[in-house]
A and B are shown apart, each in its own frame.
Chain A
Amino acid sequence: MARQLELATILEQQQPARQIYRLRLRAPAIAAAGRAGQFVMIRINDGIDPLLRRPFSFHRIDREAGTFEILYRVVGRGTRELARKPPGATLSCLGPLGNGFTLVGATSGQPVALVAGGIGIAPLVQLMAELAARIPRAESHRLMLFYGARNAEELLPESTFEPFGCIVHTSTDDGSKGFCGLVTQLLDQVTRDQDLTFSALYACGTLAMQYHVARWAEQRSIPAQLSLESLMACGLGACLGCALPAPHPNRPGADHYQHVCVNGPVFEPGSIRWDQIEPPPTPPTLVCN
């Protein structure tokens, strides 16, 4: 489906967790074409500062209503300005962009893992909806969400996931809710305790989290799809700014790059040279008691 440049109208802005905002936009052309894991580039204002669009993955898409939602964390100038936009304001949106998730694992009978770190929950909710639609309701417990954040206040409310009937395991870095530790540790522990064999794994989170999820999935031969992020200027494959180191298709060891905007943002673990990510991803310091 063709990419669109569409002037979207803000219908609603909510703050479901600390520093986290959910923006619902009317943009029928983009909503009609978008799929889980794809993203939109949103221009913050009509001026020249901030200059570049910001990439946001689809958090929810309602094709019939002609709307979609983004979920974002306020991290800088662009998102701070976005969080102040009132309903009725318009935003120039470019999308849908990128490859999106490939829906696999839903019909296997085996559990499917969705691993979210912090604001990485954003694309996994639309993915959850699309997976749940392919699974008989009685089997929806096969969808297992592993959801970590720094603390309880930064987690989306559990009601977010109730419509999908999935199982939700949460972790926090400070132990204020759920498992005290990293979501990757939670994933590993639950998998061992329950002797689970996942037919597919989907993940979105920090590069540090993805680094560990990639290795964990590869060691267990679980087909994994990781939604990665990068600074980017165009979103269309022109600026070549959003490069990540990747294995060379013909010459092992030679320098090669994948571009998050057109080759991704969803990648299999083996398509990224994790050893060349600079600076090396380091997990956060935990403050558990």
Chain B
Amino acid sequence: MGPDRTPADAPDLGVQLGPLKLRNPVMVASGTFGYGQEYADFAPAERLGALVVKGISLQPRTGNPPPRLVETAAGMINAIGLENVGVEAFIATKLPRLAALEVPVVVNIFGHTTDEYAALAARLDGVPGIAAIEINISCPNVKQGGLQFGSDPAMAAAVVRAVRAATRLPIITKLTPNVTRIGDLAAAVEQAGTDLVSCINTVTAMAVDVFSRRPKLANVVGGLSGPAIKPIALRCVHEVAAAVSCPVIGIGGIMSAVDALEFLLVGARAVQVGTANFTNPAVTLEIIDGIERFMRHQGLTTLEDFIGGLDTSCRFPFADQ
């Protein structure tokens, strides 16, 4: 930094995310940050771009029997089963403290039927303190709904249309990677009226123990997250960004500022940090600071000059180095 630098020279990390204006592109992913209070000592919500809360359903859910998680190579598989307090308790007990924080709060919702999604969206519409709704149509753990909605473009679009009709809030639709053509899915939900898409949710996976001859999760299968899925997530964001004109939020194995920047480079306008919060509860602050350092290093005053700037014209990108 030169001696003549003034605060005016500080890079602007802010991003416009469709109808949402974020102070920086670093959000926290649903289910990895509780309701904000759990991480207050380490990553004050006021520093985040946005906070996505644990998925909420119409009725409280107790979740799956244990074991609910298992560590795998550079990742973990979870089958929590969408344990949550239900929308009424969320509004009464969790949201007031969240709404008092200076951060956009995104409420992640999931249901078993299109009607349940619509009812949740209608219930949250007009409730103060909510910046947007994120539709979880891609959780692989709920047998009755989740994956079926998420993997079929027509059904996914039906859910989005129902939610669109029920709320004025901005809608983010979270996509599953467990499909052959994620771009088709993204195009379908954009057509149905989503304001943004986020991807990816966890990758369906399993782990087994040869000594007990049992699955390592009581649910047998679960969702893989962490650095192990980052290359899959990058490819998905790359395909989705090409398939839609709405903003894309990149998710999947982000552990560092460089990881986050990779997602921005392939076309995401913001990112969500998930599993890394478990490894390092202050990781989001480190990522935000790292992005700022990168911008200074690259002479970027805004991220607009970097987002989606992937150069695919060179067939041998290592030749110059």
Contacts and interface: CB of A to CB of B under 8 A. Distances in A.
Interface in A261-287: 276, 278-279
B284 to A, nearest CB: 13
Interface stretch (A18-26, A105-113, A197-205, A232-240): A232-240
Nearest to A254: B62
Contact of A239 (B32, B42, B212, B218): B32
A234 B278 contact: yes
A256 B71 contact: no
Contacts of B78: 233, 239, 241
Interface string A1-24: 011110000000000000000000
A87 interface: no
Residue among B42, B69, B277 with max Cβ neighbours from chain A (10 Å): B69
A58 to B, nearest CB: 19
A241 B281 contact: no
Contacts of A256: 62
A49 B73 contact: yes
Interface size class of A (residues with CB under 8 A): 35 or more
B280 A43 contact: yes
Given A51-B76, A241-B69, A243-B68, A233 B63 contact: no
Contact of A2 (B31, B33, B41): B41
B248 interface: no
A80 to B, nearest CB: 14
Interface in A207-231: 230-231
A257 interface: yes
B195 to A, nearest CB: 27
Given A5-B281, A51-B76, A231-B69, A239 B41 contact: no
B306 interface: no
A52 B212 CA distance: 23
Residue among A51, A52, A53, A234 with max Cβ neighbours from chain B (10 Å): A51
Contact of A240 (B63, B226, B275, B279): B63
Residue among B62, B74, B218, B282 with max Cβ neighbours from chain A (10 Å): B62
A188 interface: no
B54 to A, nearest CB: 8
B231 interface: no
Given A52-B76, A241-B80, A92 B280 contact: yes
Nearest to B32: A238
Contacts of A5: 41-42, 280-282
B80 A239 contact: yes
Contact of B66 (A3, A233, A239, A243): A243
A5 B280 CA distance: 9
Nearest to B253: A48
Contacts of B177: none
B30 to A, nearest CB: 11
A94 B281 contact: yes
B83 interface: yes
A7 to B, nearest CB: 12
A238 B280 CA distance: 13
Given A49-B74, A245-B65, A238 B255 contact: no
A242 B66 CA distance: 7
A244 B83 CA distance: 13
A86 interface: no
Contact of B214 (A3, A48, A279): A279
B282 A239 contact: no
B70 interface: yes
B18 interface: no
Interface string B270-303: 0000010111111000000000000000000000
A236 B38 contact: yes
A218 B258 CA distance: 54
B31 A278 contact: no
B33 A238 contact: yes
A255 interface: yes
A50 interface: yes
Contact of A234 (B62, B73, B212, B281): B281
B275 A51 contact: yes
B227 interface: yes
Given A234-B278, A237-B38, A255-B62, A48 B70 contact: no
Interface in B212-235: 212, 214, 218, 226-227
Given A52-B76, A240-B80, A279-B212, 4 more contacts: A242-B66, A243-B63, A243-B64, A245-B65
17 contacts: A3-B41, A43-B279, A52-B278, A231-B68, A231-B70, A233-B69, A234-B278, A234-B281, A236-B34, A236-B281, A238-B32, A238-B38, A238-B278, A239-B69, A240-B31, A240-B83, A244-B66
Interface of A: 2-5, 43, 48-53, 92, 94, 230-234, 236-245, 254-257, 276, 278-279
7 shortest interchain CB distances as A-B pairs: A241-B69, A238-B34, A233-B278, A234-B278, A255-B62, A48-B227, A238-B38
